[in-house]
């Protein structure tokens, strides 16, 4: 037996679920982590999340979940008609102008 736990921790399980997400999950991080030359690839995945809230909101399927990965302020000015759940597991997220 390796280790002393009989199950994954909350954070281990959360990260695993992000690596193998539900089909209607999208991810947002205000700091781009996925560069292709001079361009930030905003694919909406955990590895290449959206950088802009507007892109993330438009890219999240109706009834899906948008996971905000990094605490901070996100510009969210606009009208959004797509119903979605917004989750921020680390907290500290402000959607505003």
Residues 6+ apart with CB under 8 A from 6: none
pLDDT band at 2 (very low <50, low <70, confident <90, very high): low
The tens digit of pLDDT for each residue in 20-38 reads 999 999 999 999 888 787 8
pLDDT at site 90: 92
pLDDT tens digits, 33-91: 887 878 888 999 998 999 999 999 999 999 999 999 999 999 998 888 889 999 999 99
- How far is it, in rounded angstroms, from Cα 97 to Cα 73? 9
E strands along 1-97, which residues?
Answer: 25-28, 35-36, 39-40, 65-68, 72-75, 85-87, 93-96
Segments making up each domain of the chain, as ranges:
22-96
pLDDT of residue 54: 94
Question: What's the predicted TM-score (pTM) here?
Answer: 0.85
What is the distance in angstroms between the CA of the first residue and the CA of the last residue of the chain? 52
């Amino acid at each position: 037996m390796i280790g002393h736990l009989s199950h994954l921790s909350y954070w281990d399980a959360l990260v695993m679920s992000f690596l193998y997400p539900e089909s209607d999950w999208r991810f947002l991080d205000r700091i781009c982590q996925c560069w292709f030359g001079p361009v930030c690839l905003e694919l909406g995945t955990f590895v290449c999340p959206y950088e802009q809230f507007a892109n993330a909101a438009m890219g999240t399927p109706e009834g899906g979940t948008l996971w905000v990965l990094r605490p901070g302020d996100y510009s969210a000015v606009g009208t959004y008609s797509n119903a979605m759940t917004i989750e921020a597991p680390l907290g500290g997220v402000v959607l505003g102008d």
